[in-house]
Amino acid sequence: MPQPGAEHSLRELRVGPRSYRYCSLAAVEESGLAGAARLPFCLKVLLENVLRQSAQGRAVGEYAGVFAEWLDRRSARREIAFRPSRILMPDSSGIPLFGDLAAMRDATIRLGGAPSSVNPAVPVDLIVDHSVAVDASGAAGALARNAALELERNAERYRFLRWAAQAFDRVRVIPPGKGILHQINLEHLARVVWVEEGEGGSLVCPDTLLGMDSHTAMINSLGVVGWGVGGLEGGAALLGEAVDILVPEVIGCRLSGRLQPGVTSTDLVLTVTQALRRHKVVDKFVEYFGPGVDELALPDRATLSNMTPEYGATMGFFPVDAETLRFLRLTGRDEDHVALVEAYARAQGLWRDPAAAPPLYSGIVDIDLSAVVPSVSGPRRPQERVPLHAAPAAFREAFGAAAAGRPGRGERRSGSGEGRRPRDGDVVIAAPLSGSAPIAVGRVMVFTSPETGALVYDNHELISRWNYQLTKAASFNLIGQYISTLPHADLTDLPNSKTLFADALFTYMPHPGTALYFGYIGNFANLDRALCTRESGGMCDPGAPILAPTNSSMMNDGKTIYMKISYLLRF
């Protein structure tokens, strides 16, 4: 089919006193791409991306035919060249990448070139959130103590990042202690609509990104197209190279009804994960639509998008709508920019209108929100959802034989203090400390390994990707439920909760080829006194059995992240 010319796609958009240009998707349809207005919203963003590249003089191939094929078959067998607006990365992947860039500069100098030729071509945000170990908690000054130790232990790494931020263009480093990168991206960095300044004036386009972390898709909840990639793809895009992708199938997840009182977004995401796993959405985009979308606040949408890796898709996308604008205002975005987001989304056909006909999808999965019930995941995988009322029976069925003949570990006594130890079948609320402050909550089921007696629990966000290595190495059975990414709250307000300082150590190494280790460290009245640190060599108490000591023989960088189990609930 004829390729739409760039000269026919540029249109003007006035918002208040300012004037912008944009590459109009309506102009593409007028030029012959029939049905472009019925594309899923996420594919409209990809179409705009290659259209804009063409308008800027880049060679992008015969993209119109690729999208025409998709409209005809609801899938395409050819690739397009995608270039994101920006790159997002944590320190664990960003530091090696900037080390590579520094080495490339050295090589450029040796070859007689200018070191400035090695520079990011797009804005880069590096967020330091993967370097945290919690040594102090539950006491005044704990945050300051942890921050000081973090800076001391990572001084060399942080000096390198400071140098990188000054040496390279378009690099912004967000220091430790500000939160987890996906939360920062959602609440502060994402613009939804991007403005490129050039000789011809201001060109407005969708905000898009590639993130070097699997849960980058959380940003899809804000109407931003982006997904997680590896270091090679991220580094290539950072240097301005296009990422070639097949235009994927898009599965429409139609939401109807509303959640019943007492049902959380966690229960919803477990239900959706189970349904989408059955539908086999690997390497596909998922786009949410239907009247139930209006019933979900943006934090609930973020929970669904954040679980995209767990249900196997590349993205879990929510189009821009009134809730998007409400969240932008809630998080302090400039009112003029919010107005630009709405005006551009409406003009470009990227605004979700509940009264409009739905887009064309490769397939549809229906979810009735009113039918969602409180649930836990397990016994081993998140798609193995168990209604909460059936959890005791499911637990006995899954683990009864392993636990037969063994006494429970600890006594069932109310209250808090010394001697309270979880036992098989207990349900625990855990506060993972994977940033400089706890920002997430995980409801998990406790199980003790019959081989080792070690306490086992699953905070799904951290553990699921290592499940195979862990079960292969130690014969652990994991059962649990990931709840949400939430602002830290005082959990003592939860009904029927009792404070408990449990005796569990969780270590995590975010490096390829490493594994997770759990250590049972004895019965301590206060876990704060029992945390194993690099300085203590991993032995918290003489004579206490350690399944996996956190000394240098087990952990090549001495880095430990702790999860403190601090609240216990009963069936």
19, 96: one domain: no
Does any domain span residue 126? yes
Cβ-based neighbour number of residue 18 at 10 Å: 14
* Residue 332 falls inside a structural domain: yes
Length of the chain: 571
Domain-located, residue 273: no
State the pLDDT at residue 133.
72
Q: Are residues 68 and 100 in the same domain?
A: no
C-alpha to C-alpha distance for 88 and 237, rounded to whole angstroms: 11
The answer as to whether 505 is a domain residue is yes
Among residues of the chain, what percentage have pLDDT more than 90?
54
Answer yes or no: is 367 within a domain. Answer: no
- 508 assigned to some structural domain: yes
Q: Is residue 373 part of a domain?
A: no
pTM over cut 0.75: no
Q: Does one domain contain both 463 and 395?
A: yes
The structure tokens 């709840």 sit at 483
Q: What is the CATH number of the domain that holds 224?
A: 3.30.499.10
Beta strands in 310-454 (DSSP E): 315-317, 363-368, 375-377, 385-387, 427-432, 440-445, 447-448
Together in a domain, 92 and 164: yes
Q: Which residue has the higher pLDDT, 82 or 540?
A: 82
63 plus 209 within the same structural domain = no
Sign of the Cα torsion 391, 397, 398, 403 reads positive
On average, the pLDDT of the chain sits at 74
Residues 495 and 527 in one domain: yes
Q: Looking at residues 38-61, what average pLDDT do you find?
A: 92
Strand ranges, E, within 337-479: 363-368, 375-377, 385-387, 427-432, 440-445, 447-448, 455-456
pLDDT in tens, 135-183: 777 788 888 888 888 888 889 999 999 999 999 999 999 998 888 899 9
- Low-confidence winner among 170-174, 193-197, 269-273, 449-453 (lowest mean pLDDT): 449-453
pLDDT digits (tens, 9 = 90+) for 269-322: 999 999 999 999 999 999 999 999 999 999 999 999 999 999 999 999 999 999
For residue 153, give every residue at least 6 positions away whose Cβ sits within 8 Å of its Cβ, in sequence order, or none.
Answer: 131, 133, 534, 558
Using omega within 30 degrees of 0 as the cis cutoff, is the peptide bond preceding 379 cis?
A: yes
341 and 448 assigned to the same domain: no
Statement to judge: residues 170 and 35 lie in one domain:
no
**Which residue range(s) make up the domain with 319?**
86-249+309-349
- DSSP class of residue 188 equals I
Q: If DSSP codes are grouped into helix, strand and coil, which group holds residue 174?
A: strand
Q: Is 336 left (phi over 0), alpha (psi -120 to 50) or beta?
A: alpha
Domain count within the chain: 3
> In terms of domains, do 78 and 197 share one?
no
My answer on whether 52 and 127 are in the same domain is: no
75 and 95 belong to one structural domain? no
pLDDT at res. 136? 79
> Mean pLDDT throughout 438-461?
32
Q: Measure Cα distances from 22 to 36, 50, 55 in Å.
A: 17, 13, 10
- What is the rounded radius of gyration, in angstroms, for the C-alpha atoms of the chain? 25
Task: Tell me, yes or no, whether 399 and 341 share the same domain.
Answer: no
Q: Which of 56-60, 128-132, 478-482, 538-542 has the lowest mean pLDDT?
A: 478-482
Show which of 43, 60, 82 is a domain's final residue.
82
* Mean pLDDT of all residues in 421-447: 41
In a domain, 535, yes or no: yes
For the stretch 474-478, contacts whose Cβ atoms lie closer than 8 Å and that sit 24 or more positions apart, written own/partner, are 474/449, 474/518, 474/547, 475/449, 475/451, 476/449, 476/518, 477/379, 477/380, 477/398, 477/399, 477/402, 477/447, 477/449, 478/378, 478/379, 478/380, 478/447
